[in-house]
Chains A and B, each alone.
Chain A
Amino acid sequence: MAIIEVVDLVKRYDRKVAVDGVSFTVDEGEIFGILGPNGAGKTTTVECVEGLRSPDGGTIRVDGLDPRRDRAELRTRLGVQLQQSELPDRIRVGEALDLYSSFYRDPADWRELLERLGLGDRARTEYRHLSGGQKQRVSIALALIGRPRVAVLDELTTGLDPQARRDTWSLVEQVRDSGVTVVLVTHFMEEAERLCDRLALIDAGRLVAVDSPAGLVSRVSDEQTVRFRPAGPLDLDLLRELPEVSHVEQHGPRVVVTGKGNLLHAVTSVLARNHVVAADLRIEQAGLDDAFIRLTGRALTE
């Protein structure tokens, strides 16, 4: 069931169109990604969903509410982690959570929340003494403190080191597993591919596609590549005869086979029948970044 519906959203800044007719729905209980390069209109889109900006056109419903008209009620059901939003330097983590929990009718127990986010021993630490990853976790905690039905997380892992990024990802999965619908804004392919159940691909204010990560990839290409080093002599024509194979090349000791369908199985069967052992066997598939390049005609640069 859809918990967020966006239909034909348009937002202009002066004359520049930031969001141009974007439509999508977010289902309850999923992690929905909004992926695109910087300046594509991702943040503007979610800010309209959050009721922080008025759309110039289109309609938005969040849990049945109009984000502008029902602003007050929306605030109690939607948790927001803003891009680049900090707290006062000298506020303690526990104080911040206690304060923000007092804003809601039925808040979560903030001590428990801190424990869950691995900040249990940081309640008395001043905000300015936290690491980047810890600040992001406080930010997630504040987004969840009001027990929202939907949490919007904007550029959650930007600026974090790889370890902190992976830790944060598993937190987001935990949040989803606790029943909260998550909208994740990101420009990291890896993050989108790893976390999102479905993705909206946005480029230059327009929606390019909405699908699961695997679905997006298969739209542009179901081509695969198998690479290996045969231990003995191998007649490459045996591989070329296979219906799955479109192309075979030899690079020194290495054989590169390109094709579709169940390519790996077809290739290994031929090798087994001919008693050739394959070393360094690798299979490569197109990824989300290939899909992005094909769908938008340009690379998503970071």
Chain B
Amino acid sequence: MLKIVKIEWKLFLREPVSVAFAIFFPSLLLLVLGALPALRTPDPQFGDLRFIDAYVSTLVVIALAFLGLNKLPATVATYREKGVLRRFSTTPVSPARLLLAQLAVNLIAGALSITLLMVVCRVVFDIDLPHHPLGFLVTCLLGMLSLSALGLLVAAWSPTARSAGGWATVAFMLVMFFGGAYLPRFLMPDFLARVGEYLPPGVVALQESWLGAAPDPVHLGVLALITVVAGTVAAKSFRWE
């Protein structure tokens, strides 16, 4: 199993676009936004936080959403279309291992990306490390797992790699929108902001555990529920060929 993860990790590193977007993009975006003085000034709108302080959770959402809803379904659907999964099923090793390896790669890449982001936050912008490290870790983990489960669901239900790419993009855009990537969450109508709280990967829980107190257990519960339901449905309905 370790060998499969190792190879899949190497394959991930050989895709420059994926690496750039998943690992470096959130930190780069922070550097760009932070270069604007207005976004570095405390604003009463955010309870005297700076825009960039309020935006860190959204940056985590971007990294996780890309990995879970873009890279994962694209890779899995391509593997199915090219017969990689089928070839696996002719060996003593189950093709399910290949999907688990994808999940492992996502967790590693997500961890790297968020670590880099935390370093940039701390060193460049003097943003605290997560106040509630355990809560932050759990939220990130559940966020990654819930998005990956949704990504697998997309891959499971799409007949081709192309349609998987299309549906995954829709899901990706929605998650990005509710995560505040396009429109800062404080500008959203109350209702939309509330929906975003419960959607993976839990932007409010991320924000809370980073700069506030412990994440709301209800938020985490919803993420866990989505992971289990989407993961089970994906596993049951997955087409291997």
Binding site for B on A (CB under 8 A): 50, 52, 72, 75-76, 78-80, 82, 84-88, 90-91, 95, 98-100, 102-104, 142, 146
Tell me which of A50, A86, A98 contacts B90 (CB under 8 A).
A50
B-to-A contact residues, CB < 8 Å: 3-4, 7, 10-11, 14-15, 79, 82-84, 86-87, 89-93
Could you tell me if A52 and B90 are in contact, using CB atoms closer than 8 angstroms? Answer: yes
Beta-carbon contact of B92 and A86 below 8 Å: no
Closest residue on chain A to residue B8 by CB atoms: A88
Instruction: List the B residue with the shortest CB-CB distance to A85.
Output: B83
Query: Which one of B7, B11, B84, B92 lies within 8 Å of A72 (CB-CB)?
Result: B92
Question: A88: which B residues are within 8 A, CB to CB?
Answer: 11, 79, 82, 84
Say whether B93 contacts A103, CB under 8 Å. Answer: yes
Chain B: which residue is nearest A104 at the CB level? Answer: B92
Complex contacts, A85 vs chain B, CB 8 Å = 82-84, 86-87
Query: Nearest chain B CB to A76's CB is how many angstroms away?
Result: 6
Nearest residue, chain A, Cβ from B12 = A90
Q: Of the candidates A72, A78, A99, which one forms a contact with B3 in the assembled complex, judged by CB atoms under 8 Å apart?
A: A99
Smallest Cβ-Cβ distance to A52: which chain B residue:
B89
Are A90 and B11 interface neighbours, CB within 8 A? Answer: yes
Residue of B nearest to A92 (CB): B10
Whether B93 lies near A80 (C-beta < 8 A) is: no
**A-B contact list, 9 entries, CB within 8 Å:** A52-B86, A75-B91, A76-B92, A82-B90, A84-B83, A103-B92, A104-B91, A104-B92, A142-B87
Closest beta carbon of chain B to A131's beta carbon, Å: 17
B10: nearest residue on chain A (CB-CB)?
A: A95
Separation of A146 and B92 alpha carbons in the complex (Å): 9
Q: A82 touching B92 by the CB < 8 A rule?
A: no
Q: Contact at B11–A82, with CB atoms within 8 Å?
A: no
For the complex of A and B, the 3 pairs showing the least CB-CB separation, nearest first, are A85-B83, A80-B90, A86-B82
Q: Which residues of B contact A80 (CB under 8 A)?
A: 87, 90
Residues of A within 8 A of B3 (CB): 98-99, 102
Contacts of A87 in B (CB 8 A): 82, 84, 87
Whether B90 pairs with A91 at a CB distance below 8 angstroms is no
CB pair B15–A82 under 8 Å, yes or no, is no
Query: Could you say which residues of chain A place their CB within 8 Å of the CB of B11?
Result: 88, 90-91
**Given A85-B87, A99-B3: A75 and B10 interface contact (C-beta under 8 Å):** no
A87 to B90, CA, bound (A): 14
Report A-chain residues with C-beta under 8 Å of the C-beta of B4. Answer: 99
Residues on B with beta carbons closer than 8 Å to the beta carbon of A79: 90
Q: Are B87 and A82 in contact, with the CB atoms below 8 A?
A: yes
Give the residues in chain A near B86, CB-CB below 8 Å. 52, 82, 85
